[in-house]
A and B are shown apart, each in its own frame.
Chain A
Amino acid sequence: AQTVTQSQPEMSVQEAETVTLSCTYDTSENNYYLFWYKQPPSRQMILVIRQEAYKQQNATENRFSVNFQKAAKSFSLKISDSQLGDTAMYFCALRDFNAGNMLTFGGGTRLMVKP
């Protein structure tokens, strides 16, 4: 069975600063995707960034980047130049190709960006 663990239930950061959210996972598969989703107060799930396990290069999307350590099964999200609109729940998720492409989610990290 796959598991995803987010060890930081809550975090806060000052506007314009950088924050890193942690995620560790466990899977017996060699080929998989990892994702970070954002859930703002509206509760709409929004894809922030994805990483293919076969790619060594860390994914980057504007102010969002990941540190993917495959051997350590670690997948952290770095948010640079934090903005008030980044305030949300952030979920790390693992996609299993063998089980209908289902997603296994971590418990989430609540991020508060302070002015």
Chain B
Amino acid sequence: DGGITQSPKYLFRKEGQNVTLSCEQNLNHDAMYWYRQDPGQGLRLIYYSQIVNDFQKGDIAEGYSVSREKKESFPLTVTSAQKNPTAFYLCASMGQSSEDYEQYFGPGTRLTVT
């Protein structure tokens, strides 16, 4: 089955610790995205990558970092510099051909920092 996996589904961390969220896709998509969702709100873009070894900041990149060493993987690190890290995090991917129009989303990771 092709798709996007995010692990774990729920993640708990103590304040001051860095934490890395996993995102893997086997759709052979070039582009990958990380979004943050707060309760009752829409999604906001954190980072995106259109090709391996390259990525761009989104609207709310402060306190986050990413890497794109492999086409299939786009991990997100929530650093201790992120002031309010508790949120729901969604990863997405998309093909880059002219026929590709849809971003496919993973199931998400709920991060709670106390």
Residues of A within 8 A of B (CB): 4, 6, 9, 33, 35, 42-45, 47, 50, 52, 91, 95, 100-108, 110
In angstroms, Cα B31 to Cα A46, docked, is 18
Decide yes or no whether B44 CB sits under 8 A from chain A.
Answer: yes
Q: List 8 A-B contacts (CB under 8 A).
A: A44-B105, A47-B102, A50-B102, A91-B42, A100-B50, A101-B103, A102-B58, A103-B33
Chain B residues with a Cβ under 8 A of chain A = 31, 33, 35, 40-45, 48, 50, 56, 58, 88, 90, 92, 94, 96, 101-103, 105, 107-108
Complex Cα spacing A103 to B56, Å: 14
Decide if B105 touches A45 in the complex (CB within 8 Å): yes
* B31 engages A107 (CB within 8 Å): no
**A107 near B41 (CB under 8 angstroms)?**
yes
Q: B96's closest neighbor in chain A, by CB?
A: A101
Say whether chain B's binding surface is mostly helix, strand, loop, or mixed.
Answer: strand
- Closest residue to A104 on the B side, CB-wise? B45
Flag if A101 contacts B31 (CB, 8 Å).
yes
A36 vs B92: C-alpha distance when bound (angstroms) = 16
CB-nearest residue of chain B to A35: B102
